[in-house]
Amino acid sequence: MGKPQNIAICGAGIGGLTAAILLARAGHSVRVFDQFDTPQPIGSGLMLQQTGLAVLGKLGLRDNIEALGSKIDRLWGLTTPSQRPVLDVRYAKWKSELYGLGVQRGMVFNQLLDAALASGVELVGSTDIVSVDAVSGTITRQNGSSIGPFDLVIDALGVRSPLTRAPKRDLPYGALWATLPWPKDSGFDAKALEQRYHKASKMTGVMASGRAHADAPESLTYFWSIRADQEQAWRGGSLESWKEEAETLWPETGVLLDQFQSHDELTFARYRHRTHPSPISGPRLVHIGDAWHAASPQLGQGANMALLDAWALAKAIQDAADTPDALKQFKRLRNGHVQLYQWMTWLFTPVYQGDSTALPWLRDWLAAPLSKLWPAPPLLAAMVSGMIGSPMGQLKLRVRP
């Protein structure tokens, strides 16, 4: 579109800030609204794939983020007590130059926030948004006041966005997590996301998550799977008893568990699975990231999908004749890839996180052995990297070795 647009972005997360940077640099007037007094990151360590890294490269932030992240070559897990491998994904089985990048969410957020401010994005805090008029582009706050109108409102408020009518189904399981200093002389693999399972009802994992800034120590993200309806009971129970349970599942994590002195040192992440039928809710309202499509983190695609959404939307706005055409182009660019990964995540989640006894038995004794046979290894690596569905080509993005 040739005419600069007046654009509001609801939500200062990874997707919202990325869209803000791209649109501001393209000459549009961009305001980002967030409920916090000062925008801040929410969430644990995450893994960036080549899809997300390609977008960060377009922003000029990839080198900085890679320098602070931890390269991940392998995702693997064992089941207890047999110690049988039930998951072993190696990026090199598909393409030797591929890898994931373990990062602290706060580090990525800070890089994006600095770039947004430098690009002329206006950040407006303390804004509780309850609705948007998709026809006029007017935002309504919780106190009843209005903001706008805007030529376009982008919903980047995440899975709990009040701007979408799609069902918000909580998944039974979530996870407790904490970011900790990397322990010296530990047996953890600095280039792997490691997990231990007992059936599908118990899971613990460790992932290298780089540094918060250049002078900070190396870190890891520890996580423990737990049913959402058991979180409050866990917080009211004995911390020492839980530590014993967690250490029994994976003895080497004892050096991490010893650091916890309070339940409050672990944050609970609740997961939801939903896909809005369309990212377009009207002529002036579009949803990106988890506001459009949310899922469990089993395939680790959340942040990467949000980055791809932001890039695709900015590209569509640049190439289209008007806003309605831009939104249609955006949907066409992203819908297939989104639907494919939503389906795969829905399929995989109960196999690794759930109460079934049959599914983990099939996983351990049938699926795991078959996953070692060609063509499973390269297909699993392609799936984890986010490349199935060829999202990069149509977005004019490419993998950089």
User: Over the stretch 98-155, which tens digit does the pLDDT of each residue have?
Assistant: 999 999 999 999 999 999 999 999 999 999 999 999 999 999 999 999 999 999 999 9
Helix 323-352, helix 302-319: angle, nearest 10: 170
CB-side exposure of 263: number of CA atoms within 13 Å? 13
**Runs of H (alpha helix) within 231-367:** 231-236, 239-249, 254-257, 302-319, 323-352, 358-362
Q: Which of 177, 188, 190 is nearest to 254 (CA)?
A: 188
- pLDDT average, residue stretch 384-389: 95
Task: Report the chain's C-alpha Rg in angstroms.
Answer: 21
* Residues 180-212 pLDDT 10s: 999 988 889 999 999 999 999 999 999 999 999
Helical residues (DSSP H) of 320-375, grouped into ranges: 323-352, 358-362, 368-370
**pTM (two decimals):** 0.96
The whole-number pLDDT of residue 56 equals: 98
Q: What is the pLDDT, as a whole number, of residue 214?
A: 95
Q: Please tell me the number of Cα atoms within 13 Å of 321 on its side-chain side.
A: 1
DSSP 54: H
178 — pLDDT class (breaks 50, 70, 90): very high
pLDDT, residue 401, reads 54
- Evaluate if residue 165 carries a pLDDT over 90: no
Give me the phi and psi of 113, to 5 degrees please. -60, -45
283: buried, middle or exposed (CB in 10 Å: 19+, 13-18, 0-12)? middle
- Give the pLDDT confidence score for residue 38 in this predicted structure: 74
Cα–Cα distances (Å) from 265 to 205, 235, 343, 377, in that order, read 17, 11, 34, 37
Per-residue pLDDT, averaged over 317-331, amounts to: 96
Q: How confident is the model at residue 21 (pLDDT cuts 50, 70, 90)?
A: very high
- pLDDT in the model for residue 24: 98
Asked if 301 and 385 count as a contact pair (C-beta separation under 8 A), the reply is: no
Helices (H), 251-295: 254-257
Residue ranges per structural domain of the chain: 6-169+272-394
Average pLDDT of span 351-358: 93
Q: Provide the pLDDT confidence category of residue 316 given band limits of 50, 70 and 90.
A: very high
386 — pLDDT class (breaks 50, 70, 90): very high
Residue 234: φ, ψ to 5°? -60, -45
Q: Determine the residue type at 327.
A: L
What's the pLDDT at 317? 97
Range of weakest confidence among 31-40, 134-143, 182-191, 229-238 = 31-40
Separation between Cα atoms, residue 390 and residue 100, nearest integer Å = 17
pLDDT at 318 over 80: yes
Is the CB of residue 89 less than 8 Å from the CB of residue 74?
yes
Query: Looking at 55-64, 269-278, 310-319, 378-387, which range is the least confident one?
Result: 269-278
Please report, rounded to a whole number, the percentage of residues in the chain having pLDDT higher than 70. Answer: 97
Residues 202 and 249: beta-carbon distance below 8 Å = yes
CB contact at 8 A, 212 and 106: yes
SS3 6: strand
Query: Comparing C-alpha atoms, which of 311, 318, 367, 302 is closest to residue 334?
Result: 311
Tell me the CA distances in angstroms from 11 to 81, 143, 240, one per residue in order: 44, 18, 38
Question: Can you read off the two tokens belonging to residue 371?
Answer: 């996953």
> Which tops the pLDDT comparison, 369 or 246?
246
**Beta carbons of 77 and 87 less than 8 angstroms apart:** yes
So what's the pLDDT on residue 366? 87
Are 294 and 338 in contact by the 8 Å Cβ rule? The answer is: no
- Does the pLDDT of residue 400 top 90, yes or no? no
pLDDT tier for residue 168 given thresholds of 50, 70 and 90 = low
Helix axis angle, 105-118 to 14-25, nearest 10°: 20
Give the model's confidence band at 69: pLDDT under 50 very low, under 70 low, under 90 confident, else very high. Answer: very high
pLDDT at position 328 is 97
- What does DSSP say about strands 74-79 and 122-124: parallel, antiparallel, or unpaired? unpaired
The predicted pLDDT at position 314 comes to 98
Burial of residue 246 (CB within 10 Å: 0-12, 13-18, 19+) is buried
Q: State residue 260's pLDDT score.
A: 97
Instruction: Report DSSP state, residue 15.
Output: H
In the block, tokens 């055409």 appear at 325
CATH assignment of 6-169+272-394, given 3.40.50.11540, 3.50.50.60, 3.10.20.30, 3.40.50.300? 3.50.50.60
> Contact, 31 vs 320, CB < 8 A?
no
